[in-house]
Structure 1
Amino acid sequence: MDGHGEMGLIGENFDPGFVGRMKEDGYEIRSESDNFDVASGDDQDAAADGPSKKKKYHRHTPRQIQELESFFKECPHPDEKQRMELSRRLGLEGKQIKFWFQNRRTQMKTQLERHENVILRQENDKLRAENDLLKQAMTTPICNSCGGPAVPGEISYEQHQLRIENARLKDELTRICALTNKFLGRPLSSSGSPIPPHSLNSNLELAVGRNGFGGLNNAGTSLPMGFEFGDGSMMPIVKPMVNEMQYDRSAFVDVALSAMDELIKMAQMDNPLWIKGLGGGMESLNVEEYKRNFSSCIGMKSSSYATEATKATGLVYLRGLALVEALMDANRWVEMFPCMISRAATIDVLSSGTGVTRDNELQVMDAEFQVLSPLVPVRQVRFIRFCKQHSEGVWAVVDVSIDPSQDATDTHMFPNCRRLPSGCVIQDVDTKCSKITWVEHSEYDDNAVHHLLQPLLSSGFGFGAHRWLATLQRQCDCMAILMSQDIPGENNTGITPAGRKSMIKLAQRMTYNFCAGVCASSIHKWDKLSVGNVGEDVRVMTRKNINDPGEPHGVVLSAATSVWMPVTQERLFDFLRDERMRSEWDILSNGGPMQEMVHVAKGMGHGNCVSLLRGSAINANENNMLILQETWSDASGALVVYAPVDISSMSVVMNGGDSAYVALLPSGFAILPGISPSYHGGRSESNGALVKPEIDGSIVSGCLLTVGFQILVNNVPTAKLTVESVETVNNLISCTIQKIKAALTVT
């Protein structure tokens, strides 16, 4: 990464302007040339021999200080080789170099804490003044008509709004006092008695602008991101996971800073830390080189855990600040990666950052990550997310798992996955797009993964950086298409612009529910079934729907499995989305081809779209049934999801009506990049030589097909599930797979 304005800009992890601003705020900061009067390495060792010896100080020359400062800006944590080079070049001992960098980092951290303390005190004073004014206004209400004291009675609208605002300010003030306490080391409150952290138990708390997950709703500064439609509503895809956590917040700050430093270094470094694939795409981690350069900030991993780490770089059509806003909001984050995140929630906000740039924002989050296959367990991770603006137009967002020992309330002391410093570095390229460098680094228990999917995960194609980046690029392209007025190749016959959005929103819900059924995420309460004549590779589950208007009421049965297909992803995707070939595998087609009535584009490729299908004129159903279908394909895989819908409901949707009341149960296919069964741990069976899988290489000679069905087996929620129903859906999956293989002439 070279050139002005590229990734080299982010090497300066701290703002040099801190020094000047701290002087203006009344803090005494010594000159850099004083070198803090730090003892040299020999002098410090001598001082440790006994208190009777007089300490000697070594003052570095201006040239030495200038060289050290310049190197510190590029690398605050030099390794032993770099320290020896500095020692030789500057005529200093290795210990002197080591202690200088230690003291310089300590002083920089102190400056950062002082600077944040000044900002917190200013915010606290402002909130205290506003709070006092609101209290005075509420205790002495004025009549709007006569100007005199208001007569007690029904609360006016203005007073109600004041009470809501007052409750919000109290909540904000409590958070500010907690942060100030952390930096000052002593309690601080805005009045004579501190505000209890749980004093807001009135019914006003429902409207004080909280998002329901312990964080603050920054709706006033949010930028347009995600699928938010004209009515301002968004799909309710996030459920609360709030609990009271007990942990050392100051320790989390140290972990976040260490994780950020590691992410930046990993994003900047190239060979030998990262090994590029033959196609020049995804880069995989050299684990031995990583161990030589980094130390774990979350403790040692379990001996049974496997490691996966990848890096990918690309351009997306989205400004950096808009992407940062989406990543720091749990709801919008899930919307942006619906097939990768089954649910997410902000547990706590340790720091809300400064201004609209989200600089220094620190959150505790819960999330469930998924691969669209029932043979891969959902990864449940609790982690801290830290956002830092390193320079103008350059941000970094890092995640790192919480050590279970730091959370006394953690019920899963041994999670199936740990998220090492992972995230993305974002750099604005122009007014329309930004450059993203994505790093994914995890340790996971591979014993719970089916042998068919183990090569996919170990090679990085399951949860790797390229999958996150490809999904982000596809979602950003979709938003650009949706905002365009003239979309080539789109058939909008009989649909209004509002109906177009409503139809896409309905398809989004359909796809999300399909993923939840395939991966068995906790977004729904599933009961797993074990029936003797159902294969172990087929997962069958059931649940009852009573209140959700978006699904038919009754007992819902879900079945899914994954199989190896010796055909390319492109060929299989084109076959499954071709309405003319649908009669080859779909029982809903009534044995004849289907016709596309409506085509709404969601990307530049013809396959990225939402469609409305119906049977041919000869074979059309008599019950007025249509097929809603969403398809997409990118470097991370492909998806074909569909559900039967009735004509009357879709006519409402296509005219801009609310799609939340359209009941549907999705079925479909997920196609994943496949690693050949002959690939075992990176070594071929023939000669044992180390090989790396490539999407377009010989190792990957097919793909993985996941088939999932959700059907209503009884419209009475209290009905008992029968063995015949389980056998029916199991036979449906088996028959569909066999028909697809026969149509593609594969075995």
Structure 2
Amino acid sequence: MFQQSTMFDSNNMLDMSHKMSSDSDLMEIRKTNDDDFETKSVTETTMEAPSGDDQDPADQRPKKKRYHRHTQRQIQELEAFFKECPHPDDKQRKELSRELGLEPLQVKFWFQNKRTQMKAQHERHENSILKAENEKLRAENNRYKEALNNASCPNCGGPAALGEMSFDEQHLRIENARLREEIDRVSGIAAKYVGKPVTSFSHLSSHHLPSRSLEDLGVGSNFVSQSGTVGEMYSSVSNSDLMRSSLPVPCEADKPMIVELAVAAMEELIRLAQAGEPLWVISSDHDEVLNEEEYLRTFPRGLLGTKPLGLISEASRESAVVIMNHVNLVEILMDVNQWSRVFCGIVSRAMTLEVLSTGVAGNYNGALQVMSAEFQVPSPLVPTRENYFVRYCKQHVDGTWAVVDVSLDSLRPAALSKSRRRPSGCLIQELPNGYSKVTWIEHVEVMDDRNLHNIYRPLVNSGLAFGAKRWVATLDRQCERIASSMACNIPAGDLCVITSSEGRKSMLKLAERMVMSFCAGVGASTAHAWTTLSAAGNDDVRVMTRKSMDDPGRPPGIVLSAATSFCLPVPPNRVFNFLQHESSRSQWDILSNGGMVQEMAHIANGRDPGNFVSLLRVNSANSSQSNMVILQESCTDATGSYVIYAPVDIVAMNNVLGGGDPDYVALLPSGFAILPDGSSLNNSGGSSGNVVVDDVGLSSPLSGGSLLTVAFQILVDSVPTAKLSLGSVATVNSLIKCTVERIKAAVI
């Protein structure tokens, strides 16, 4: 039996009244409407009153205070000045008083009252957001309750028992538990604005809900799947709309503050980019990191104030020369869609909430936009970092372009601020022949996340997981990839089955979409919820389902995603070379049934020989695979590597090779993400460092271990409305664990 959810009364979200205090010896304020104030001003000159018996008793009554009502012109002038400067200084107030015929104190109090009014309007706006979020949760909760109440056995049509619950219904129960936590969070935020505590959902439920709890239904703690493995809920928020609904859109009163903050952040970024020692020091991994003590001396005030208790600082700087002109680089950074695509391995979700300025003179000089983004590591074991910030672009007098981000913590509820960005971004200097020099700075303050798995803690603590080196390495590799896709002078021997430059571009575009889809589904993004399957002595496997409907780039039906991450005492380059080479594929690819793999096409898309897109054919006795080929992209840089592949129908692939539109080719990408384990970062990736030749004739670093993420996407039912059984989950669980065992046996 489902527990009925009891929400807190939305009437507690009533707008708040704000009492404005005034100096009784000077003036009292009476508000007449939103745009006008009537001011009762005591401006009488103090008279010498007769003393003692000479004073007339009638004169002992207090004098009546004179009222002064501002004229329409005065109000208009004050309003116009307020938009430019809400906090005028003494000199500005005196000038206004002379121009408008008012006392300086009258001007001072008008601005005080106006600021109070704007604050009240802002808080009413925040209240309306909280109300909307509360109503949304209420509707979601009712929908899930109705779905669970109508749950039935697919075989007999009767009420579903625990053992017969589908995987989707298990997810509904888990989602309901998540909703209860979300309502508690919203209640806490509401209490802050209402001014009195709001009864938590958990307390209400103890009085109004039925006696059976989620634990009684087998969801709150553990459930047993058909494979005999034990699963536990992996805490995550599945509603992607929550990212937008939980973030405030700046109101007019906020915009001057945002502009001022962005300008100051730009100045700080320039100073950080141009400074040397002692502000920047070289770490043991030969990376530039910020000297925090020197930073506090250089910037004693700090744009975001002092670092909150519980947050730790991560700050790094990296430079590189990339093969792209400055105009295109700026466009990538200022277009949220291009930015998300180029950095898909780092940016799991991003959106522009409001554009405050589009720039001047037809370019991005002066562009200003409020954004939200979620940053990830390609593993479900590393929690993402969400930031709410303003991005500002400016061209400087020397021709250098700069793009800076800085968090807008003052506009968001403090409870959500687990990560904030101090001035971070990059400087872009134009070089000859279409090249640019990029200097990247990442400066963040984050809370130590207890959900971070121990095997990833050294990598995250080193700063490499989210630091400047990873951003620059990704940008450099993607610039080479873009340049490769635009190249025309390709030797005929490299084209193989690709007969035209249009076919080559279509194949690269299809591979790009495959990589983006893989990266979007392998991390711990709050856009989806993972469920953990684990068994004693084995690695955890995360699984989740997605229903694909009306998506030309994905086959229709129920798609099951499964992923796991584990350590290997083998250098990352050796693992990468083993996984990407077609001669060793039969050692780990169960679905190839031991058949030999032949490369039909090869497109290099970078200077490193490990960066290429290939088309593979499996020569297997299984006739069911004769109509399929494998599209694969391999890419590597100094911070990590990927091997991503997807089976493609041969008819659809022939259309792509002929220059057809690749957006209508259905893909379900699987593959691997390989990261250094943090033990030896100076020789951990790319083709750099001391190397040896391994058993497949390729090179790898001498030291350091690897963190390998294995992920599969499988279509388990072609009917999107079908229910997924736990038996399908057990099958995929066995598949991914068998793959892991084969890899370990081959490389260790």
Using the TM superposition, give the Cα deviation of residue 310 of structure 1 relative to its aligned residue in structure 2, in angstroms.
0.7
Q: Distance in 2 between matches of 1:700 and 1:420?
A: 34
The answer to whether the Cα contact below 8 Å between 1:614 and 1:620 also exists between their aligned partners in 2 is no
- In angstroms, what is the RMSD of aligned CA positions? 2.9
- Give 1:517's aligned amino acid: G
C-alpha distance 441-456 of structure 1, shift in aligned 2 (>3 A): same
Q: Distance in 2 between matches of 1:239 and 1:484?
A: 42
- Give 2:518's aligned amino acid: F
Tell which deviates more after alignment, 293-302 or 655-664.
Answer: 293-302
- Give 2:543's aligned amino acid: V
Correspondence for 2:712 = 709
The answer to whether the Cα contact below 8 Å between 2:288 and 2:316 also exists between their aligned partners in 1 is yes
1:358 counterpart = 2:364: yes
Q: Distance in 1 between matches of 2:627 and 2:674?
A: 31
1:416 counterpart = 2:418: yes
Using the TM superposition, give the Cα deviation of residue 743 of structure 1 relative to its aligned residue in structure 2, in angstroms.
0.9
Within 5 Å, which residues of 2 pair with 1:569-588? 569-588=572-591
Give the one of 718, 736, 740 matched to 1:733: 736
C-alpha distance 694-659 of structure 1, shift in aligned 2 (>3 A): closer
What is the percent sequence identity of the aligned residues?
49
Give the one of 337, 347, 352 matched to 1:331: 337
Give the one of 594, 597, 600 matched to 2:603: 600
Correspondence for 2:531 = 529
The answer to whether the Cα contact below 8 Å between 1:693 and 1:700 also exists between their aligned partners in 2 is no
Q: Distance in 2 between matches of 1:738 and 1:575?
A: 15
Give the one of 668, 686, 697 matched to 1:665: 668
- Give 2:637's aligned amino acid: D
Using the TM superposition, give the Cα deviation of residue 655 of structure 1 relative to its aligned residue in structure 2, in angstroms.
0.9
Within 5 Å, which residues of 2 pair with 1:629-644? 629-644=632-647
Correspondence for 2:501 = 497
Aligned residues: 492
C-alpha distance 712-703 of structure 1, shift in aligned 2 (>3 A): same
The answer to whether the Cα contact below 8 Å between 2:615 and 2:630 also exists between their aligned partners in 1 is yes
1:269 counterpart = 2:275: yes
C-alpha distance 618-542 of structure 1, shift in aligned 2 (>3 A): closer
Q: Deviations over 1:129-163 (max 9, x none)?
A: xxxxxxxxxxxxxxxxxxxxxxxxxxxxxxxxxxx
1:551 counterpart = 2:554: yes
C-alpha distance 539-244 of structure 1, shift in aligned 2 (>3 A): same
Give the one of 301, 305, 310 matched to 1:304: 310
What TM-score results when the alignment is normalised by the length of structure 1? 0.62
C-alpha distance 540-645 of structure 1, shift in aligned 2 (>3 A): same
Q: Deviations over 1:75-110 (max 9, x none)?
A: xxxxxxxxxxxxxxxxxxxxxxxxxxxxxxxxxx99
Q: Distance in 2 between matches of 1:364 and 1:589?
A: 48
1:477 counterpart = 2:480: yes
Q: Distance in 2 between matches of 1:343 and 1:508?
A: 17
The answer to whether the Cα contact below 8 Å between 2:430 and 2:436 also exists between their aligned partners in 1 is yes
Q: List runs of 5+ in structure 2 lacking aligned partners.
A: 1-83, 86-113, 115-239, 691-700
C-alpha distance 693-635 of structure 1, shift in aligned 2 (>3 A): closer
Using the TM superposition, give the Cα deviation of residue 357 of structure 1 relative to its aligned residue in structure 2, in angstroms.
4.1
Correspondence for 1:443 = 445
Using the TM superposition, give the Cα deviation of residue 536 of structure 1 relative to its aligned residue in structure 2, in angstroms.
7.5
Q: Distance in 2 between matches of 1:376 and 1:366?
A: 19
C-alpha distance 366-470 of structure 1, shift in aligned 2 (>3 A): same
- Give 1:441's aligned amino acid: H
Q: Distance in 2 between matches of 1:702 and 1:400?
A: 35
- Give 1:428's aligned amino acid: E
Using the TM superposition, give the Cα deviation of residue 296 of structure 1 relative to its aligned residue in structure 2, in angstroms.
2.8
Q: Distance in 2 between matches of 1:540 and 1:667?
A: 13
1:292 counterpart = 2:294: no
The answer to whether the Cα contact below 8 Å between 2:424 and 2:442 also exists between their aligned partners in 1 is yes
Q: Distance in 2 between matches of 1:238 and 1:436?
A: 34
Q: Distance in 1 between matches of 2:612 and 2:302?
A: 43
Using the TM superposition, give the Cα deviation of residue 533 of structure 1 relative to its aligned residue in structure 2, in angstroms.
4.3
The answer to whether the Cα contact below 8 Å between 1:597 and 1:612 also exists between their aligned partners in 2 is yes
Using the TM superposition, give the Cα deviation of residue 664 of structure 1 relative to its aligned residue in structure 2, in angstroms.
1.6
Give the one of 341, 349, 353 matched to 1:347: 353
Using the TM superposition, give the Cα deviation of residue 554 of structure 1 relative to its aligned residue in structure 2, in angstroms.
1.4
Using the TM superposition, give the Cα deviation of residue 239 of structure 1 relative to its aligned residue in structure 2, in angstroms.
13
1:609 counterpart = 2:612: yes
Q: Distance in 1 between matches of 2:532 and 2:565?
A: 17
Q: Distance in 2 between matches of 1:391 and 1:238?
A: 41
- Give 2:456's aligned amino acid: L
C-alpha distance 261-537 of structure 1, shift in aligned 2 (>3 A): farther
The answer to whether the Cα contact below 8 Å between 1:613 and 1:628 also exists between their aligned partners in 2 is yes
The answer to whether the Cα contact below 8 Å between 2:559 and 2:717 also exists between their aligned partners in 1 is yes
C-alpha distance 323-494 of structure 1, shift in aligned 2 (>3 A): closer
Q: Distance in 1 between matches of 2:542 and 2:606?
A: 33
C-alpha distance 329-625 of structure 1, shift in aligned 2 (>3 A): same
C-alpha distance 565-618 of structure 1, shift in aligned 2 (>3 A): same
Correspondence for 1:406 = 411
Using the TM superposition, give the Cα deviation of residue 487 of structure 1 relative to its aligned residue in structure 2, in angstroms.
2.9
Using the TM superposition, give the Cα deviation of residue 635 of structure 1 relative to its aligned residue in structure 2, in angstroms.
1.0
C-alpha distance 240-741 of structure 1, shift in aligned 2 (>3 A): closer
Q: Deviations over 1:439-476 (max 9, x none)?
A: 01111222232121121112111011111111111111
Q: Distance in 2 between matches of 1:736 and 1:302?
A: 44
Tell me, what secondary structure is at the counterpart of 1:452? helix
Q: Deviations over 1:370-406 (max 9, x none)?
A: 1111111222211101111112421111101111x32
Correspondence for 1:245 = 250
Tell me, what secondary structure is at the counterpart of 1:359? coil
Higher Cα radius of gyration = 2
Using the TM superposition, give the Cα deviation of residue 553 of structure 1 relative to its aligned residue in structure 2, in angstroms.
1.4
The answer to whether the Cα contact below 8 Å between 2:595 and 2:620 also exists between their aligned partners in 1 is no
1:318 counterpart = 2:324: yes
Within 5 Å, which residues of 2 pair with 1:215-226? none
Q: Distance in 2 between matches of 1:725 and 1:619?
A: 22
The answer to whether the Cα contact below 8 Å between 1:384 and 1:401 also exists between their aligned partners in 2 is yes
1:379 counterpart = 2:381: no
Tell me, what secondary structure is at the counterpart of 1:360? coil
Using the TM superposition, give the Cα deviation of residue 313 of structure 1 relative to its aligned residue in structure 2, in angstroms.
0.9
Q: Deviations over 1:596-616 (max 9, x none)?
A: 111122112332111110113
What TM-score results when the alignment is normalised by the length of structure 2? 0.62
Give the one of 456, 459, 466 matched to 1:456: 459
Using the TM superposition, give the Cα deviation of residue 650 of structure 1 relative to its aligned residue in structure 2, in angstroms.
0.6
